[in-house]
Structure 1
Amino acid sequence: MTQWASGEIYESYVGRWSRLVATDFVSWLDQPTGLRWLDVGCGTGALTSTILRTADPASVLGVDPSTGFIEHVRQHVRDERASFEVRSAAELPDGPYDVVVAGLVLNFVPERVEALRRMREIGATVGAYVWDYAEGMQLMRNFFDAMIEVRPQDRDHDEAVRFPFCTAEGLEGLFTEAGFTTVSTREIVVPTEFTSFDDYWKPFLGGQGPAPAYLRSLAEPDQETLREAVRARLPIEADGSIRLTARAWAAQAVS
């Protein structure tokens, strides 16, 4: 089971990259200033802080089921327009909100269509984005391709297998099933650069997120085998650096 508890560990794994995606996403939503926003699954505040910085909202409420994440975001996002509550996507507050957003969270919501229906009830505009686990999120894709190579019996741990809807078509299908009639989608691609293999690998040792949790479940010799298989796949440059890209798929619709 995926555990989300430490904001610092999450930031080193994918939080820093999600902040780049959030900037592009909020710009694409193209909302007027002075609105009420709800950030569902706010995590460590990547999307909330971007809204505050670039969208000039009247207020932003961030909700997340992880007490650890809410404690982290309260310490790091200090803005009188922002507030945070421990809530799951199944316990969203009553609206209305002008904009309801969910960044990198739908795949961790068991009843995601029901959650989107609730977002449609309380929000005028609803937007979400997820990583392209099957192809474009190279940070994770290299890990799982190596896993399949050395441990094909564990294929079901691959996030592309677990979350097959994380595509443009899959997101549009979820939104449509939730009752939205016109859905727009787009890709967002950001650079993910590492100074060394250790810089790339260390976040996988934190145990948070599907890939790190899977890695932690292995015996040490199996972890080392997988580590070297991942290393062999990465485009490591002469100076030791690794330059990858991460693609997310985004969707937005009007209630």
Structure 2
Amino acid sequence: MTLLRGDALSTAFDHGSAAYDRLVAASPGYHAHLRRSARRLGLAEGRRGLRVLDLGCGTGASTAALLATAPHARITGVDASEGMLDRAKAKSTLAGVDFVHAPVEELADRLRPGSFDAVFAGYLFRNLDDPDTTLDLVRRLLVPGGHLAVHEYTLSGSTVHRTVWNAVCSMIIQPAGRLAGDADLYRHLRDSVARFDTAPAFAQRLRRAGFADVRVSPLPGWQTGITHTFTARTSEGTGEAA
């Protein structure tokens, strides 16, 4: 398995951005699952001025989910793919969102510690070279008691769920990617999930990074045991978990 990394992955997403929304919309529950994970972030819907960081926002599907949950939040969407961000910026429903074109690794120099009340990361961590460094950054960017939600393909560890994932990729996801001219990107999707943490392992990664109240919640439908929401928070005292 050869995974795309860094500039190669950003370039693949740039190329794939034209068909991306159409392909993910064909996945049953895709947008509903993002909204469910956004609700699990625990934002106060009516509160104004909540500062929310949407890491790996892509074409803005996760951003829209956050706005549906907390319409008065101040959202900053970050993505390393300029092509994906261009799609997000073009959506009138996302007017007022601040979008930043940058790899996650550069955010330490661009965002102040304690800048956000909550962070949402959808389909991001399995694409990073160093997930632990990014978790440390996220912890520092959150206020004391800040909330994190990670929405990610993380297999349960069951051979049944791994078999389902491989079958869906072989019969649906990869053929659709080839038709769209993005075979490398959707091969990466399959392999990155297979190589990444299981759900229990990623929960442990969050705890090692110093997050508290780590919870793992399944998502319904065919993605049960394949995609999970991870929620956690920083400690109340310092902006960093004890």
Indicate which of 12, 15, 24 corresponds to 1:14.
24
Separation in structure 1 between the aligned mates of residue 54 and residue 194 of structure 2, nearest angstrom: 24
CA contact (8 A) 2:17 2:59 kept: yes
Change (3 A) 1:186 1:49: same
Structure 2 contact 123–152 (Cα < 8 Å) conserved: yes
Letter in 1 for 2:137: R
TM-score, reference length from structure 2: 0.69
Larger Rg: 1
2:217 to 161, 173, 186: 186
Report the TM-score when normalising by structure 1.
0.66
Query: 2:147 matched to 1:131?
Result: no
Q: 162, 171, 177: which is aligned to 2:202?
A: 171
One-letter amino acid matched to 2:122: G
Runs (5+) with no aligned partner, structure 1: 148-155, 191-244
Identify if the C-alpha distance between structure 1 residues 39 and 137 changes in structure 2 by more than 3 Å, giving closer, same or farther: farther
Larger mean CA deviation between 132-141 and 171-180 belongs to 132-141
Say which SS state the counterpart of residue 90 (structure 1) adopts.
Answer: helix
Q: Distance in 2 between matches of 1:24 and 1:118?
A: 25
User: Does the Cα contact within 8 Å between 2:59 and 2:88 map onto a contact in 1?
Assistant: yes
Residue of structure 2 in register with 1:58 after alignment:
73
Question: Where does residue 246 of structure 1 map in the other structure?
Answer: 223
Seen in structure 2, the aligned counterparts of structure 1 residues 45 and 80 have a Cα distance that, compared at 3 Å, is closer
Identity of aligned residues (%): 22
Aligned-partner SS, 2:220: strand
1:100 paired with 2:119, answer yes
Q: Deviations over 1:140-189 (max 9, x none)?
A: 54334999xxxxxxxx9752774330x32022022112111321111112
Conserved? CA contact 1:131–1:137, under 8 Å: no
What is the RMSD of the two structures over their aligned residues, measured on CA atoms? 2.8
Which amino acid in structure 1 is aligned with residue 204 of structure 2?
Answer: G
> In the alignment, what sits opposite 2:55?
40
Tell me the residue number matched to 1:198.
none
How far apart in 2 are the matches of 1:73 and 1:246?
A: 25
Deviation at 1:21, TM superposition (A): 1.3
SS of equivalent residue, structure 1 residue 60: strand
Change in Cα spacing, 1:12 to 1:117, as seen in structure 2 (3 Å) is same
